[in-house]
Every structure is written in structure tokens, then in C-alpha cells.
Amino acid sequence: MLKLRQLPLALAIAAATSQVNAAGFAINEHSAAGLGRANAGEAAIADDASTISHNPAGLTRIKTNTVTGALAYVDPTVKIDGPTDSLSSSSSAPSAVVPAGYFAAPINDKLVLGLGMYSDFGFKTDYDKDFGALASADVSDIVAYYLTGSMGYKVTDQLSLGLGISVVHATAELSSALPGGEVNLMQLEGDDTTYGWNVGALYEFNEATRVGLSYKSEVKLSFDGDIKSDFIPAWNAGGSADLDLPAMLELAGYHDINDQFAVHASIQRTYWSSFEELAIKVDNNGGTQVPVVIEDYQDVMRYSVGATYTLNPEWTLRAGIAYDETPSTDEHRTLRLPDSSRVLYSVGATWNVSDKMNIDAGYQYVDGETSSIEEPTSPIAPNDTTFSATNSAHILSVGGSYKF
């Protein structure tokens, strides 16, 4: 019989960004400047209003009303190698555009308020109709949008604290099909709106050196929607599935070596162990949970270092490198989320057009390791098929800030 783990997987991975740039399913395209330094030192740098997405305490470094925005274009490649050509694919991850926008408004010399719109989680895969393992994965299209109100308060000349409250809206579409794509095994569409929070601290030793610490809460989602199936008539009903987006802890540092050169770094812990299993409920089954596989994600680390060089008053250059661990294991990894650990290489620049406006650009190359996947290829397959997956991505982000 069909393994049910495939059915709720993309629904429950409300953001699996192995096809974007972060292991597991986190999105890091929060600003063009941040992308250009591989997000190294993000919780401490606070050089524009996008600090809302990493550390609200950094808002106290914003001295005038500031708007910051960015658009990131992600061009991923996910190559699946199976035992035959029909069980292989090189076009499962379509390109995507990731937007972000922020506004920071100082109230006085101690309190700064902020509003941010961005995504911390997002994912899409779409296999060709001639892919022989559509029973395991066809379309997965999921994203979680954040609307975050933040405040930063300067407790002393050196210490700032911050708090943010987020409204999180997530949408999900997931499907499985028989080879050829003509028979729908399962299609699910659902959404949910819930809340999260984040806190942060920023300590400035002096004008040249500061450290930041931030924490984002776990977010619990329950997708409600409709299930359609040509294969199992009893599944043509309403359904739901639960997903816990993980908590994240970041420690970051920034140091000016001289007037032109600065270094910065981050260590981030993502608590993926909250993602233990996938659970789907079909309404006409009396609300009972359909058995699913244990996902057993592991808590992981992300390490990043970067440098910023002020070439002259008009131009600033930056670069960074990061290593991002995957939370998935060989035992439970699936075709919907062919995730792996990866190294990220970034470069970027800022053009200071005037005292009020700057334009940022960043480029990142994501180099993923090869991972192993065990999946069935049809509803009646008695055994799993072994696949290998490699992924990479080119990401280009442009944005900037305006002060008024």
C-alpha cells in the first residue's frame, strides 16, 4: 500500500528551503546587504531597518525614519539521480522571487518602533510529469509570511533590548500522482494564521565593537483545507495537518578593525527537533490521524563569517561565507525535501547615492552536498528505491534604504 509519509510532507514542511538557500526550511533572503555578507553578524550589524527580521534590539541604531526593501531572485537546481532515467530529474525546483520590506521610526533617543514584512520559511518543488516517482512527490508549494511589529529600547548607552510580535500566515499546496500525472493520488491545499514572537539584546562595547543575541519563538501551525484523491475516494474531504516551525537562537559579533575594514560573524542554532513527525487528519475519518513516518529532524548549527570594506564615501564592498547543517537524516529524507548540508559563498556592494538613499546588491552561490533518499515509486511498490540528490542555487538580491 502507498506509504502515507509523502502525503502530508510538503504540507508540513511549510517552508522547506533546501531549494532556496538554507538547510531544513528557513529563508535567509531578508535583505540585499545581508545576502552579500552571507548573513554574517546580522544580529549585531543593524545597519538598516531589516534588523527587524534578526534582532529588534538593533533598531536603536536607526536614528531617523528609514524604509528598507529588497527583492531576491533565486535560481535553484536540484538534481535527482535514480536507478533509471525515468526515475531521475533535474528540473524539480522552479525559480522564485522573495520580497522583503521594513520601516523603522525613532520615537525619541531611546525608543524605536519598527514594522517588517518578510518570510522566514518558504519552499517549492514541481517534478516533471514524466518523473517516475510522482507517487512520492509531485507539487509542493508552501510559504509562511511574517508581519512583525517590533520595538527597540536603549536601556543604557551600551545596552539595548528589543521585542517583536509576528502575525504568521502560511499557505500550502501538495500533491502526489501516478506516473504520467494523469491520476491524482492526493492533492491538498490549506492555510493557517497564527502568532510568534522574538526578543533580542545588543551590547555596544564602544563605537567599533558590538555583540547581539536574538531568539525567535517556535510557531505552531495547523493547516486546514481540502483533500482530493482519484485513488482513495475516502480522502475526498476536508483535512488538516499540524506543523511546528522551529525556534532559532543567534549570537553575532561586529568589529571595526579600522575606518575602512570591519569583520563580523554569526552562530545560529535552529531547534529542528520540534519537527518530529507529520500528522494528517481526514475529516470523514472521524478526525483520526492518518499514520505517517517519523521525520526526526535534528537541532542544527549555521556558522558564518564576513567582512565589509568601505572603498570610499560612495561605495561599500562586502563578502561572506557560511556553512549550514541539514536537520534531515538519511533514514527519513524524502523527495519532497531533498535536503543536505551546504556551503554558501556571498559578495555584495552598497552605493551610497546620497545622505538619504543607498542601493544594495548581493550575490550568493549555494553549494549543497550530495544526499541519499529512500522512497517508494508507486502505490504498490513493496520496497523503497534509492535516490541521490544534489542541489545548488544562484541568488541575486537588490534593494536599498531611504531615510526621511
Kindly tell me the burial class for residue 312, based on how many C-beta atoms sit within 10 Å of its own C-beta (0-12, 13-18, 19 or more). Answer: exposed
| Model confidence, pTM | 0.87
Question: What's residue 125's pLDDT?
Answer: 77
Question: What's residue 279's pLDDT?
Answer: 58
CA torsion sign for 225, 226, 231, 234 is positive
The 10s digit of each residue's pLDDT in 268-277 is 999 988 876 6
Residues in the chain: 404
Query: Are the beta carbons of 109 and 94 closer than 8 angstroms?
Result: no
- Check pLDDT > 50 for residue 342: yes
- Check pLDDT > 60 for residue 10: no
Closest CA to 148 of 197, 98, 215: 197
Q: What is the mean pLDDT of residues 332-337?
A: 76
The letter for the amino acid at 264 is H
Q: Who wins on pLDDT, 7 or 348?
A: 348
Q: In whole numbers, what is the pLDDT of the chain averaged over residues?
A: 85
Taking the mean position of all CA atoms in its chain, how far away is CA 224?
Answer: 22
- Check pLDDT > 70 for residue 3: no
Q: What is the mean pLDDT of residues 220-246?
A: 80
Strand partners, 192: 170
Q: What's the CA gap between 136 and 68, in Å, rounded?
A: 41
- Check pLDDT > 90 for residue 189: no
Q: What's the CA gap between 378 and 133, in Å, rounded?
A: 7
The 10s digit of each residue's pLDDT in 359-393 is 999 999 999 988 888 876 655 455 678 888 888 89
Question: What's residue 76's pLDDT?
Answer: 87
Which has the minimum average pLDDT: 31-35, 66-70, 98-102, 378-382?
378-382
Identify the DSSP state of 109.
Answer: S
What does DSSP say about strands 111-126 and 96-106: parallel, antiparallel, or unpaired?
antiparallel
The 10s digit of each residue's pLDDT in 194-209 is 999 999 999 999 999 9
Q: Which residues make Cβ contacts (< 8 Å) with residue 371, sequence separation at least 6?
A: 326, 328, 330, 333, 338, 339, 340, 388, 389, 390
Q: Which residues make Cβ contacts (< 8 Å) with residue 32, sequence separation at least 6?
A: 70, 72, 348, 360, 361, 362, 397, 398, 399, 400
Question: What's residue 288's pLDDT?
Answer: 45
6-403 maps to which CATH number? 2.40.160.60
Q: What's the CA gap between 280 and 289, in Å, rounded?
A: 6
Q: Where are the domains of the chain?
A: 6-403
Question: What's residue 59's pLDDT?
Answer: 98
* Set of cell numbers at residue 52: 527587524
